[in-house]
Amino acid sequence: MFEDKFSIRTKTMKRSAIRELLKLVLNPEIISFAGGMPDPSLFPIKLLGDAVKSVLEREGKRAVQYGPTEGHQGLKEELIKRLETRRNIKINENEILITTASQQGLDLVSKIFIDPEDIVIVGLPTYLGGLGAFHSYRARFIGIPLDDNGMRVDLVEEKLRVLRRGQHRVKFIYVIPDFQNPAGVTLSIERRKKIIALAEKYNILILEDTPYRELRYRGESIPSLFALAPRDRVVSLYTFSKVLFPGLRLGYILGDKEIINQLVIAKQSTDLCTPPFTQAILCEILKRDVIDEHIKKLVVRYRDKRECMLNSLDKYMPELPDLSWTKPDGGLFLWVTLPNYMNTEKLFSKALEKKVAYVAGSYFYYNDSGKNTLRLNFSYPTLKLIIKGIQRLGGLIKEEAE
């Protein structure tokens, strides 16, 4: 009815498959490995209540008034302090912008950089909320396959060379270096250095997305791209959705001050400011210096869940030559590759019949490939349900193989 009125982008924007799936799996009988939700039993609700009380007593009237687009002053100061002490990243106040979680970061970065037909280099597969944001500004994608050490950086230079020859405008490389969504793989330090060198050589930006970074269950932390690169080369997105409360929708962007300045201008017309009330609450929580303890608890719990899912896969998946899965060092997801002749989109309705849900891997590819892959989330379900759910999934795949 409004076809003659909608913008060109509207005709190409697609509903997020995952957000639609999440509605399907509200049925409590279905064991869901779809979604990417934190374990609700670990939400520190009492801490939140106490923080709200302090905020309302101390700065209630300010917290419910309009605030600066750049973000809550106290919160910015706490974040700058934490970045320096915990991550060894020194930034100035004009190199940070508070956002309504990192999805807004993806939107704003797209808004200030992407013109129609501009190219974004992405992982094959990659986070579908990233694809959605870039797509809504009509970007084109060039995909780089992943292996166990993350994006195949050795394949990037050849692409960049061809693109430069064709005078294509490459706007940035989108990288989720730690425990990538959806594949669960981590970019090695060598590849981090290499991709930064390439970005320097070809003068393109890197957009780094770090939602899972603090949720590491094995091995040593690897420096972020933002920490490794010159300040003007990387824009980095952070969120509190996985380590605290997704329902507060809080995150931040780090970048060169000129980029942050343009992001602030874009944000002004997007929502004026992130809610000062939720920002004041987060500031209070950070001041209490309990979040590291909380993250430790998450790591212990999720490490168990990861272990449990890997063990269950070993136990219940049929022995097939082309069946494999990743063994992530952290994060919320692992990635299963089935024999080529299986199609996880088609399999999904059978999975629902067996009362188990996943996300078909093809949604994480812009080019409709990955039909034989699927993503499993292990942070949300209980240990008991992980075992039971993988048993159901293993049964389904066994039936399909016969």
Q: Which of residues 332-361 bind a copy of itself (CB under 8 A)?
A: none
Measured distance CA(179)–CA(152) in Å, rounded: 15
Minimum distance from residue 8 beta carbon to a copy of itself (Å): 5
Minimum distance from residue 110 beta carbon to a copy of itself (Å): 8
Residue 262 or 343 with smaller CB distance to a copy of itself = 262
Asked if 85 interacts with a copy of itself (CB under 8 A), we say no
Residue 23 or 219 with smaller CB distance to a copy of itself = 23
Measured distance CA(233)–CA(203) in Å, rounded: 8
Hey, which residues between 13 and 42 contact a copy of itself (CB under 8 A)?
13-16, 19, 22-23, 35, 37-38, 40-41
**Sheet containing strand 324-325, strands side by side:** 324-325, 333-337, 373-377, 359-360
Residue 44 or 223 with smaller CB distance to a copy of itself = 44
Please work out, in degrees rounded to the nearest 5, the angle formed at the alpha carbon of residue 265 by the alpha carbons of 255 and 101.
60
What the block records as the tokens of 178 is 């730690």
The residues, any chain, with a CB within 8 Å of residue 34's CB and separated by 6 or more, are 18, 21, 22, 25, 357, 358, 359, 375, 377
Among 198, 265, 299, 385, binds a copy of itself (CB under 8 A): 265
Among 49, 166, 219, 321, binds a copy of itself (CB under 8 A): 49
Exposure on the CB side of residue 393, measured as CA atoms within 13 A: 30
Among 273, 298, 332, 347, binds a copy of itself (CB under 8 A): 273
Asked if 364 interacts with a copy of itself (CB under 8 A), we say no
Residue 150 or 331 with smaller CB distance to a copy of itself = 331
* C-beta of residue 299 within 8 angstroms of C-beta of residue 215: yes
Asked if 302 interacts with a copy of itself (CB under 8 A), we say no
Among 133, 175, 243, 390, binds a copy of itself (CB under 8 A): 133
Asked if 305 interacts with a copy of itself (CB under 8 A), we say no
Minimum distance from residue 376 beta carbon to a copy of itself (Å): 18
Q: Where are the beta strands (DSSP E) in 106-215?
A: 119-124, 140-147, 150-151, 170-175, 205-209
Asked if 259 interacts with a copy of itself (CB under 8 A), we say yes
Backbone angles phi, psi at 235, to 5 degrees: -110, 130
Hey, which residues between 182 and 201 contact a copy of itself (CB under 8 A)?
none
Minimum distance from residue 155 beta carbon to a copy of itself (Å): 23
Hey, which residues between 65 and 84 contact a copy of itself (CB under 8 A)?
65-69
Among 123, 129, 150, 328, binds a copy of itself (CB under 8 A): 129
Measured distance CA(69)–CA(174) in Å, rounded: 25
Among 93, 148, 232, 353, binds a copy of itself (CB under 8 A): 232
Residue 236 or 278 with smaller CB distance to a copy of itself = 278
Integer CA distances (angstroms), 290 to 48, 51, 58, 296, in order: 12, 12, 20, 10
Residue 19 or 81 with smaller CB distance to a copy of itself = 19
Q: List the one residue out of 165, 190, 167, 166 whose CA is nearest residue 177.
A: 190
Among 112, 163, 320, 385, binds a copy of itself (CB under 8 A): 112
Looking up tokens 């106490």 gives 50
Asked if 241 interacts with a copy of itself (CB under 8 A), we say yes
Asked if 104 interacts with a copy of itself (CB under 8 A), we say yes
Among 34, 91, 95, 107, binds a copy of itself (CB under 8 A): 107
Looking up tokens 């992530």 gives 328
Residue 52 or 153 with smaller CB distance to a copy of itself = 52
Among 249, 305, 306, 375, binds a copy of itself (CB under 8 A): 249
Integer CA distances (angstroms), 45 to 51, 101, 212, 319, 329, in order: 10, 19, 21, 43, 28
Asked if 103 interacts with a copy of itself (CB under 8 A), we say yes
If binding means CB under 8 A, how many residues of this protein chain bind a copy of itself? 82
Hey, which residues between 274 and 293 contact a copy of itself (CB under 8 A)?
274-278
Q: Is 126 helix (H, G, I), strand (E, B) or coil?
A: coil
Q: Looking at the DSSP assignment, which residues form a beta bridge with residue 342?
A: none
For the chain, state the CA radius of gyration.
21
